[in-house]
Amino acid sequence: MLTDKTAAEETATTVHPAPATPDIESLITYFEGGFVPLRDARVSIMTHAFMYGTAVFEGIRAYWNQDHGQLYGLFIREHVERIRNSCKIVLIDDVPSQDELTALIVETVRRNNFREDVYIRPSFYKSTKAIGVRLHHLESDLVILTIPFGNYVDTESGIRIMTSSWRRNADDALPARGKIVGGYVNMAFQKSEAELNGFDEALVLTPDGHASEASAANIFMIRDGVLVTPPVYDDILEGITRKAIMQLAADEGVKTEVRTIDRSEMYVADEILLCGTGVQVSPVIEVDHRKVGSGAVGPIAQAIKERYFNAVRGRLPEYRHWLTPMHEGV
């Protein structure tokens, strides 16, 4: 059911910069087995992960609800399970259990006593100080940092994207299903190319020319009332937010189809939206100088976006299982 936007929902999706933190270096971070101020979480320039990108990470959001006096972590356990899978891919062993790692993330956030939206980034990294490209016979460590965080892109009026000349790395070269730090250089090429050409984001193609993702977000298009998204075998990240969008669409009575999408099909889509922890839910209004639909945010994208932001802030009881309350006793 499509609904008009309320004032509360407008506030929820307004673009705002990350709130100023008086002393970000004092924020509590989990680092190599203990809780320390961010200023003390330091690694050597000889650290293998620093030199070769041999680390994995997750980006997790937590949303502040002023009325509830509560900070809600979004899909924490799902992110924990994905980072544990990423560790398997890059040969990181002895990873904490899902319960243990979830508890460490929650405790890191609680120690900072945030009263605003935040970004949480756990990362396992190869901590051995060594020269030489490899994954085996290296020690690893864990860091969890969390900082105040606003919107990554414009989620309100819609964004403009361009097809990047840089293709998505294939699974048999650098698997996209793992959030591998070194792999994000591929995405940096795409994002910078788009922004330096006056766009907000990149449409990234697979090596054989099909739509894959944005630089760091999953993508959906809407044609004839059907929500369509590329399959996992088109070198996408197995997105946690992507899965949530499909659930939200179903709850709005919108059919979802998973299939390969041609580049030109994006030009004739009725609506397009990006989703992910960073971009959240961001409707697209232009692709390669071509208007998407009417050139304004479409009704299905708008309905999904509004439902999403209400869900992640704890306003919709039916999605409360997505959330982990971060403050005790509330």
- As annotated, the active-site residues are 179
The Cα 307–Cα 190 span in angstroms is 30
Q: How many helices (H) and strands (E) does the chain have?
A: 8, 17
Residue 104 structure tokens: 């460490």
* Residue with tokens 């048999």, as numbered in its chain: 172
Which is nearest to 215 in space by CA: 234, 188, 236?
188
Residue 106 structure tokens: 């929650």
Q: What are phi and psi of 63, to 5 degrees?
A: -115, 130
Within its chain, how far is the Cα of 36 from the centroid? 26
Residue 61 structure tokens: 């959001």
Q: Find the helix packing angle between 76-89 and 98-112, rounded to 10°.
A: 120
- Sign of the Cα torsion 265, 271, 275, 279 reads positive
Can you name the residues that pair with 106 across neighbouring β-strands? none
